[in-house]
Amino acid sequence: MKHILPSLEALKVFESAARHLSFSLAAEELCLSKGAVSYQIKKLEQEIRSQLFDRNIRQVELTESGKRLHSTTKNIFDELRSALSDITRQTNTHDVSIAATTYVAARWLSPRVSSFSEKHPDISIIFHHSVNAEDFNLNDVDIAIHWGRCDGIANENVLLEIPMAMFPVGNPSIKTRLGSSVRHPIKKNITLLCEDRKEDLWQLWSNGRYDLDKNPRRYISDANVRVQATIDGQGIMLADEMMRNELTSGSLLPLSPHELRGFGYVIKTTTTRQLNPEANKLKDWLVG
């Protein structure tokens, strides 16, 4: 005759109550009501036709049957947890989340991630590209690379600062129109392509040398789109070393020897997330 085992839920409730010798603590651990714990244990006792607990006013004690069943269920649940943990480690894809704009991802991060993935093919990397948005929550990722001030001030969350000087560039046609005047290399009818930020980077770059108040501005938030717009002659932009390919090819040309310094890219971890081993590997790879 086939024997029907008690439900797994009833055995789980019993194991918790037996381990704590308390229906209340078992209820708290399993997120159940005390009445639900009592019901499951009473139902289990009825199924196996044996009393498992001696119920006193202030506490419960295991009967001999209860002690025997608890020894068995404890071993079974320990083995089950161990087996599931092993299976999870073997089959789980290890994810690392990293935030970087498409500009940084394509021009700096991509080749580094490619070489990292060749060495660690079991680690999956999830990209988030809105890191410079005001509402972006850095606590949602393991590692973030964002543009900002590079002040060299020690911060436990900052892994690496990559300072990059910024300088104006334009396509060859605009370069010809502007000529070689160092006194005022940017004419008033030239559109300044920029990102909508609290700090006016063009004024910071000018540092009082030039009057840029009357230059038209065109705001383009995506840096890759801003680069293409500059190549197409829509205006000029402040470039950095990540645009080396365009500068080398001659599709964009520097317009002034003056540079804006103190800005660049900051690689940082978040304040609330503990990096897992996979994220630590990528972190060490990026800053090494």
pLDDT tens for each residue of 219-260: 998 889 999 999 999 999 999 999 999 999 999 999 988 999
Q: Please provide the CATH number assigned to the domain covering 167-260.
A: 3.40.190.10
Domain ranges of the chain: 8-91, 95-162+265-287, 167-260
CATH of 95-162+265-287, one of 3.40.190.10, 3.30.1280.10, 3.40.50.150, 3.40.50.11540: 3.40.190.10
**In the predicted structure, residue 275 carries a pLDDT above the cut 90:** no
pLDDT of residue 201: 94
CA 176 to chain centre: 44
Do the bridges between strand 217-219 and strand 192-194 make them parallel or antiparallel, or are there none, so unpaired? parallel
CA dihedral angle for residue 260, residue 261, residue 266, residue 271, rounded to 10 degrees: -100
pLDDT of residue 203: 93
Place of tokens 């060299």: 152
**8-91 domain in CATH 1.10.10.10?**
yes
pLDDT of residue 143: 87
What's the pLDDT band for 183 if we cut at 50, 70, 90? low
Radius of gyration of the chain, Cα coordinates, nearest whole angstrom? 32
What's the pLDDT band for 2 if we cut at 50, 70, 90? low
pLDDT of residue 167: 95
**In the predicted structure, residue 140 carries a pLDDT above the cut 80:** no
Rounded CA-CA distance 5/19 in Å is 21
User: Do 8-91 and 167-260 have matching folds?
Assistant: no
- Residues with Cβ within 8 Å of residue 205, at least 6 apart in sequence: 166, 167, 168, 238, 258, 259, 260
159: left (phi over 0), alpha (psi -120 to 50) or beta: alpha
233: left (phi over 0), alpha (psi -120 to 50) or beta: left
Rounded CA-CA distance 236/171 in Å is 8
Structure tokens, 136: 């972006």
pLDDT of residue 163: 93
**In the predicted structure, residue 89 carries a pLDDT above the cut 50:** no
* Higher pLDDT pick, 117 / 133: 117
For the residues 263-276, what does the mean pLDDT come to? 78
What distances in angstroms separate CA 287 from CA 155, 161, 241, 250, one per listed residue?
15, 9, 18, 31
